[in-house]
Amino acid sequence: MRVLTIDQGTTNTKALVIDGSGAILARASRSTQTEYPRPGWSQQSAHSIWDATRAVIDEAAMAAGPDSIDAIAIANQRETLVVWDAETSEPVTPAILWQCRRTAEDCAALIAEGHGPVVEAATGLAINPLFPASKLAWVLREVPEARTLLEAGRLRAGTVDAWLLWKLTDGASFATDHSNASRTQLFDTAALDWSADLARIFGAAADCLPQPRASDSHFGDTASGATALPAGVPIRAMMGDSHAALYGHGVRQPGTVKATYGTGSSLMVLTPERRQSRHGLSSTIAWSDRNGTAHALEGNITVSAQAAGFMSGLLGITDARALSDLAQTVPESGGVVFVPALSGLGAPHWNNDATGLVTGLTGGSTPAHLARATFEAIALQVADVFTAMEADIGAPVSGLLADGGASSNAFLMQLQADILQCDVRASVVEEIGAMGAARMAFAAAGAALETGDETIAYSCAADPAFARDLRAGWRAAVARCMQ
């Protein structure tokens, strides 16, 4: 059996053809451009998302042989909202990214009105512009065409998985999976259905949303001419990328935390039941399959590896790799602390008004100190969420599983182990989310993906005082950032 997995991320879209041994027979990648039309706004062309997806499907399929593909799996960037016309398949507005803060004031007003507890009880998510509910309300309020289409029954709104499914099937299937639905703040995670009450609270609508299904469902079949694939190839798995990464690591029981180091970061840990966080985390559905619904706690960091790209630009350095090399030329950051609150602060702080901050600069500070402080910031943000998870679980966690592009940086992974004072195991397979979605598709077809969970281990090499002092300086800087 061969599965073509789409790994649609914020900065890159990939396609991998994977066989039952876990071998990657073909792969293709395309970058995706993000627009920042106003401060705090971020968006992408929905057409560009599909064009990049179609291009990587075609390239990977042609390399492996289009007729050899038995199924498709999708892992996608989450919380990004796509809104389109069902008759023309034309988007009515650019896709509003998960990072976008344009609805921060709307969310603050809802919290002030006292809606927070009701929303969090139903969804496990604190009201925040990260999630699509307020984004959809904004579209219905600010884009007249959207309201007209809604009244005519032609409006379709969903996360990126629903948009890709629509295009793959030429509009024959409009669905999403429970993991993606649970990130919209319009989905009741106990009832496993859209909530009209939540839609009313946000000023959104539920009748334009896709049908929610288990993650291992038969979501539809490819349409003729949509891609280089023949008609009739089944789409057998859809999962949010962070959920797919946890599944790809082979985690099936509570107690193990995984962190995905991408543009932002997501830490996730399974819980034995649907559980509310008391320490700034989200409750979410990890996935659902024939074995039932798996629940998890998650912490979302808005700017993670993106901080390295940002600092590279500020310092006039080629890229994040060169920044890493520069950071390693000094043994410590010289008291410099960088808080990369470039789109507010996510978990566990949740402050939409926070802005980026650099503290501790002296006459002796150098670009190398700023570079090192950037990688420390990535690891310290992860440590904050990791600690919150331990507090919610009520027990220490033995270690961290890492994946995502930045997890291949040995310097960052060692720094992470030293700050957490525990082992970090980084996946050898960079596209672990794609592998996880493929595993789900294999299982849905009654087959198995026989691949080991190969990792590179990083053990703590620093004494506790190192971590304690670094985290104390970080906490002080975060407190100033949030004033």
Number of structural domains found in the chain: 1
Phi, psi of 49 (to 5 degrees): -60, -45
DSSP string of 394-415?
TS---EEEEESGGGG-HHHHHH
| pLDDT tens per residue, range 125-154 | 999 999 999 999 999 999 999 999 999 999
Residue 426 has pLDDT above 80, yes or no: yes
3-class secondary structure, 259? strand
- The span from the CA of 162 to the CA of 175, in Å, is 6
Other Cβ atoms less than 10 A from the Cβ of 231: the count is 12
**pLDDT at residue 387, as a whole number:** 95
Q: How, if at all, do strands 193-194 and 187-188 pair?
A: antiparallel
Mean pLDDT of the region 320-325: 95
3-class secondary structure, 325? helix
**pLDDT at residue 430, as a whole number:** 78
Which candidate, 263, 247, 336, 271, places its Cα nearest to that of 301?
263
Q: What is the pLDDT confidence band of residue 350, given thresholds at 50, 70 and 90? A: confident
Quote the domain boundaries for residue 87. 2-243
Query: Is residue 48 assigned to a domain?
Result: yes
Query: Is residue 322 assigned to a domain?
Result: no
- The span from the CA of 87 to the CA of 347, in Å, is 39
DSSP state of 223: P
Other Cβ atoms less than 10 A from the Cβ of 24: the count is 18
| pLDDT tens per residue, range 9-65 | 998 999 999 999 989 999 999 999 999 999 889 999 999 999 999 999 999 999 999
Residue 288 has pLDDT above 90, yes or no: yes
Which candidate, 237, 295, 142, 173, places its Cα nearest to that of 438?
237
Q: What is the pLDDT confidence band of residue 275, given thresholds at 50, 70 and 90? A: confident
Q: What is the pLDDT confidence band of residue 409, given thresholds at 50, 70 and 90? A: very high
Tokens of 189: 């995670």
Cβ(177)–Cβ(286) under 8 Å?
Answer: no
Which candidate, 314, 293, 297, places its Cα nearest to that of 390?
297
Query: Is residue 237 assigned to a domain?
Result: yes
Query: Is residue 335 assigned to a domain?
Result: no
The enclosing domain of 100 has a CATH number of 3.30.420.40
3-class secondary structure, 482? coil
Cβ(323)–Cβ(315) under 8 Å?
Answer: yes
Which candidate, 119, 137, 136, 139, places its Cα nearest to that of 127?
119
Query: Is residue 382 assigned to a domain?
Result: no
- The span from the CA of 258 to the CA of 247, in Å, is 10
Task: Give the strand order in the sheet containing 2-8.
Answer: 24-31, 12-19, 2-8, 71-76, 234-240, 220-221
Cβ(45)–Cβ(97) under 8 Å?
Answer: no
Tell me the chain's radius of gyration from C-alpha atoms. 21
Cβ(15)–Cβ(59) under 8 Å?
Answer: yes
Mean pLDDT of the region 452-479: 92
Tokens of 58: 């075609």
Mean pLDDT for the chain?
A: 94
Q: How, if at all, do strands 257-261 and 234-240 pair?
A: unpaired
Query: Is residue 288 assigned to a domain?
Result: no
Ranking 115-119, 339-343, 452-456 by mean pLDDT, the lowest is: 452-456
**pLDDT at residue 263, as a whole number:** 85
Q: How far is CA 412 from each of CA 113, 280, 337, 402, 429, rounded to the nearest angstrom? A: 42, 25, 16, 11, 17
Residue 453 has pLDDT above 90, yes or no: no
Q: Is residue 208 packed enough to be buried (19+ CB in 10 Å), middle (13-18) or exposed (0-12)?
A: buried
- The span from the CA of 164 to the CA of 342, in Å, is 29
Cβ(447)–Cβ(463) under 8 Å?
Answer: no
Q: What is the pLDDT confidence band of residue 262, given thresholds at 50, 70 and 90? A: confident
**pLDDT at residue 452, as a whole number:** 61
Query: Is residue 192 assigned to a domain?
Result: yes
3-class secondary structure, 427? strand
Cβ(389)–Cβ(257) under 8 Å?
Answer: yes
DSSP string of 73-138?
EEEE--S-BEEEETTT--BSSPEEPTT--TTHHHHHHHHHTT-HHHHHHHHS----TTSHHHHHHH
Residue 449 has pLDDT above 90, yes or no: no
Residue type at position 339:
V
Ranking 88-97, 318-327, 430-439, 451-460 by mean pLDDT, the lowest is: 451-460
Residue 323 has pLDDT above 80, yes or no: yes
**pLDDT at residue 448, as a whole number:** 86
- The span from the CA of 286 to the CA of 186, in Å, is 17
Tokens of 426: 């980084």
Mean pLDDT of the region 341-357: 90
Q: What is the pLDDT confidence band of residue 483, given thresholds at 50, 70 and 90? A: confident
Query: Is residue 228 assigned to a domain?
Result: yes
